[in-house]
Structure 1
Amino acid sequence: MKEIVVVGGGAGGLHLATKLGRLVRRRGLARITLIDRSYSHVWKPLLHEVAAGTLDTGVEQVGFVPQASRNGFRYWPGDMTGLDRAAKRIRLAPLLDRQGQEILPERDVPYDILVMVVGSTANDFGIPGVLEHARFIDSRAQAEAFNAALRAEVIRCIAGPENATLDIAIVGAGATGVELSAELNTALDLATGYGLPNLRKRLRLTLVETAPRILGALPERVSASSQAVLEREGVTVLTNAQVSAVEADALVLKDGRRIPAVLKVWAAGIKAPAFLRELDGLEVARNNQLIVRPTLQTTLDDSIYALGDCASMTPPGAERPLPATAQVAHQEAPHLAKSLAGVLEGREPLPFTYRDQGALVALGRYDAFGSLGRRGLLGKQGGLFIEGWFAHLSYASLYRRHQLRLFGFWRSLLYWMADLLRRASRPGVRLE
């Protein structure tokens, strides 16, 4: 029996393992193993809500063990550290408990087909002080750590003098930075409703972007509308502003300006995990992404595939690689599942074709904007512009579609109903 190992339980990896498990389990063609350092999955586009405290990760998480049991694959906890392509084995670091005690020693896992889906992180670009003084929200643990720090600073602010302010700076005005800016305002609005008067007015939030406009990957109308909403809610938006250093209590800009901030979030750029550069000679891009062909196979090894943020694939005739977005990963995962099912039956792997379906951004409870399709329903460059309740509904449907892929219709329906009941009975923001 063939061994297919999927490393990384993010949206792309979990979707791939689930879909592939369903396709091959009855045929007995392969054993699917999913490896991830965590024991559960939280959809990455929700992490800004985790950071702001408006999402309960204990409720929204997907446990790998029950998901594997229901869908015909195995889950194995571990953190990949090495690769031996000749022997077709990957190396996992020792497995430790919360006290740092070793549960399992360093070990090898064999594979016939290996799929890397290890995601990406923000890129510090080597700027002094970023790693020491800024926070990241690229994982559930990082988002929860930021939320804990946020609640501590809120308490200090409330206990301080009446003119005390809560100074927060976010670097990077892509979707993560913009949505986090709005969600922090939403969280403090909700906290005010639970008996913390004037808290919202104490927030001084600055969003810093190197490019000429925020949301540079989205159409200009989406960018302009989003910036107008943020500024209306009190966010200071700085464009054409480059950070030269991060200090304990401030950002320092290249033009000499200093932005005071007790909390600093780094959401600029992307890079794949650094260990990918050490994977037995596989070809990587400057930002550590594994370079893959249209079949999603790595350029130097037909038995190793990569998808999602950790993969760099340039479509035939295109000038640049596909963007590192959830939309790309969600299209690649079912495609690769179908392709690998065919490979197990002796067919050639299928080339992947990306279809741009547009982009959406939600600004907390204030507004949402987006474009449908690259050219949209009206054939215009940039897509059909949408806003308001329809954009909010479209944005919410992205997560519901993610659940549908993982759980199927009936189980997803139960999750949706339970979510409605929870929202009606629980505080809208984490207060403890």
Structure 2
Amino acid sequence: MHRFIVVGGGAGGLELATRLGDRYGAQKKKGGTRAQVTLVDRYPTHIWKPLLHEVAAGSMDPFTQELEYAAQARWHDFEFQQGELTGLDRANRRLMLSPVVDDDGAELLPARELEYDTLIIAIGSTTAFFGVKGAAEFSLALDTVGQAERFRKRLIAACMRAEHQVHEPVESRPGPGTSTSSEPRIQVAIVGGGATGVELSAELRNTAQVLSAYGLHKLDPRHDVGIVLIEAGPRILPALQERVSTATAELLTKLGVKLMIGETVAEVAPGIIRTASGHTVRADLTVWAAGIKAPPILSELDGLPVNRLGQLNVRRTLQTEIDDNIFALGDCAACPWPGNERNVPPRAQAAHQQASFLMKALAARLDNKPLPEFAYRDFGSLVSLGHFSAVGNLMGGLIGGNMLIEGLFARFMYMSLYRLHIAALHGYARMVLDTFAHWLRRSTLPRVKLH
């Protein structure tokens, strides 16, 4: 029986394991299976990574959106093994997993070795701090639910502390829309003007308004809670078209987000950020969203070649350069993009396309047929600005050209991306039920998590 192991339960890895389980698990029930499928991840639950900025802002409760890998495995006929990838023995086709411990440090699962015939690595990416002094120590990344929740709790605590430090009676304070000082009482600095930084800045403006409306703090949500977005390049959203970037910058400015363009962060220290040009920015909370890199473990996997970003070099078949038994997809793979100077971009749509491609490629591998080559199709990009708006561009096969979209239509398209991910995991019928259930929850709960 052929042993497929998928390492990494992100968007691409979980979709692939689910579809492989559906195909070969159904054959197992009929007594004619040719393969068994195992998913490996260091965490017990999955959440769609593009939602983490909403978790950080409190506009999404992660516990209502998390999916337990063990349950998904039961429903779709694959096996789940929790543990972190720590090593690889290519000669004997084995991978090593770390022990799993609980919150108190007690061991739940021992270190293990798993044998494979085909290994698919899809462990995503982590935040790149680029060696900036103090960045890793004094700023928060948004790679995991735990990090996003930590930021949200720190934000609420900062608001409560700022309110407690105001000594004058409530009736003597300035009303909404006025301020006794140009300096906000709380300032959040976001380093990096990519999609994560832009989306978080807009969500935080909404969070400040909601927290004030519910009486959690009585600070002016626009003037007392400052948001600064720092981007080293000449514009925000550098990976998207300039007209999308311009439209987004205009919307953020209207929301009261201060944009610092062309400023490279030289140091992050407690309460401040220093830039290479000599500016000092006050920062009660600092979020680092300036870039990504591949997890360090990839450069330690028994000689598999990696690029300068630490990604596994793969051919257009998504096989690694020196081992036909190992595939890689998503952010951790450096996949060629013919006709372009760069590789396939690290986006959710690329991981989804690669998962769909591998379903066909792995079936051909079982039949000892030649593998097809992956061809990435760029359908455009969308950036959410919370309930305020959304912007983006549609490209290629969707409209036969390139079109800038914004407003309600762009917001609808953005929300549809997540629903398509749910459909890939559970089918369209359950996706519709999940959407309805989500709407019911939002109708009976505050728009922002308040504790």
TM-score of the superposed pair, with normalisation by structure 2 = 0.93
Are 1:82 and 2:87 counterparts? yes
Q: Determine the structure 2 residue equivalent to 1:24.
A: 24
Q: In terms of mean alpha carbon deviation, does 178-187 or 196-205 score higher?
A: 196-205
Deviation at 1:112, TM superposition (A): 0.6
The total of aligned residue pairs comes to: 429
Are 1:176 and 2:181 counterparts? no
Q: Retained in 1: the 8 A contact 2:57–2:203?
A: yes
Q: Determine the structure 1 residue equivalent to 2:219.
A: 198
Q: Determine the structure 1 residue equivalent to 2:2.
A: 2
Distance in 2 separating the partners of 1:129 and 1:146: 17
Deviation at 1:341, TM superposition (A): 2.0
Distance in 2 separating the partners of 1:173 and 1:312: 23
Task: Check 1:317–1:224 CA distance in 2 against 1; reply closer, same or farther (3 A cut).
Answer: closer
Q: Determine the structure 1 residue equivalent to 2:112.
A: 107
Pairing of 1:239-278 with structure 2 (within 5 A) = 239-278=261-300
Which of residues 281, 298, 307 is equivalent to 2:320?
Answer: 298
Q: Retained in 1: the 8 A contact 2:53–2:196?
A: yes
Q: Retained in 1: the 8 A contact 2:379–2:397?
A: no
Q: Determine the structure 1 residue equivalent to 2:132.
A: 127
Q: Secondary structure at the match of 2:349?
A: helix
Task: Check 1:376–1:24 CA distance in 2 against 1; reply closer, same or farther (3 A cut).
Answer: closer
Q: Retained in 1: the 8 A contact 2:7–2:41?
A: yes
Q: Determine the structure 1 residue equivalent to 2:253.
A: 231
Which of residues 191, 199, 205 is equivalent to 1:185?
Answer: 205
Q: Determine the structure 2 residue equivalent to 1:35.
A: 40
Q: Which amino acid aligns with 1:166?
A: I
Deviation at 1:318, TM superposition (A): 3.1
CA root-mean-square deviation? 1.4
Q: Determine the structure 2 residue equivalent to 1:327.
A: 349
Deviation at 1:414, TM superposition (A): 1.1
Q: Determine the structure 2 residue equivalent to 1:427.
A: 446
Distance in 2 separating the partners of 1:22 and 1:347: 22
Q: Which amino acid aligns with 1:308?
A: G
Which of residues 31, 46, 50 is equivalent to 1:45?
Answer: 50
Q: Retained in 2: the 8 A contact 1:5–1:111?
A: yes
Deviation at 1:316, TM superposition (A): 3.3
Q: Retained in 2: the 8 A contact 1:20–1:338?
A: no
Which of residues 393, 396, 405 is equivalent to 1:386?
Answer: 405
Q: Retained in 2: the 8 A contact 1:378–1:384?
A: no
Task: Check 1:70–1:427 CA distance in 2 against 1; reply closer, same or farther (3 A cut).
Answer: same
Structure of larger gyration radius: 2
Q: C-alpha deviations, 1:191-241, integer Å up to 9, x for none?
A: 222124434131111100011000011111111111111111111101111
Deviation at 1:378, TM superposition (A): 6.3
Q: Which amino acid aligns with 1:399?
A: Y
Q: Secondary structure at the match of 1:182?
A: helix
Deviation at 1:130, TM superposition (A): 0.6
Distance in 1 separating the partners of 2:61 and 2:19: 26
Q: Determine the structure 2 residue equivalent to 1:142.
A: 147
Distance in 1 separating the partners of 2:67 and 2:280: 42
Q: C-alpha deviations, 1:46-97, integer Å up to 9, x for none?
A: 0000001110111111111111111121111101110010011011111111
Which of residues 187, 211, 222 is equivalent to 1:167?
Answer: 187
Deviation at 1:349, TM superposition (A): 2.2
Q: Secondary structure at the match of 1:131?
A: helix
Q: Secondary structure at the match of 1:301?
A: coil
Q: Determine the structure 2 residue equivalent to 1:401.
A: 420
Pairing of 1:51-62 with structure 2 (within 5 A) = 51-62=56-67
Q: Retained in 2: the 8 A contact 1:168–1:205?
A: yes
Q: Retained in 2: the 8 A contact 1:158–1:199?
A: no
User: 5+ unaligned residues in a row in structure 2: which ranges?
Assistant: 28-32, 167-172, 174-179
Distance in 2 separating the partners of 1:112 and 1:157: 57
Deviation at 1:374, TM superposition (A): 4.7
Q: Determine the structure 1 residue equivalent to 2:385.
A: 363
Q: Which amino acid aligns with 1:338?
A: K
Q: Determine the structure 2 residue equivalent to 1:67.
A: 72
Distance in 1 separating the partners of 2:279 and 2:398: 41
Q: Secondary structure at the match of 2:23?
A: helix
Q: C-alpha deviations, 1:321-364, integer Å up to 9, x for none?
A: 11111111111111112211221122222211111101101101
Distance in 1 separating the partners of 2:232 and 2:109: 45
Q: Which amino acid aligns with 2:75?
A: R
Distance in 1 separating the partners of 2:235 and 2:136: 25
Q: Secondary structure at the match of 2:267?
A: strand
TM-score of the superposed pair, with normalisation by structure 1 = 0.97
Q: Which amino acid aligns with 2:205?
A: N
User: 5+ unaligned residues in a row in structure 1: which ranges?
Assistant: none
Q: C-alpha deviations, 1:99-131, integer Å up to 9, x for none?
A: 101122221111111111001112111111011
Q: Identity percentage over the alignment?
A: 45
Distance in 2 separating the partners of 1:97 and 1:367: 41
Deviation at 1:155, TM superposition (A): 1.2
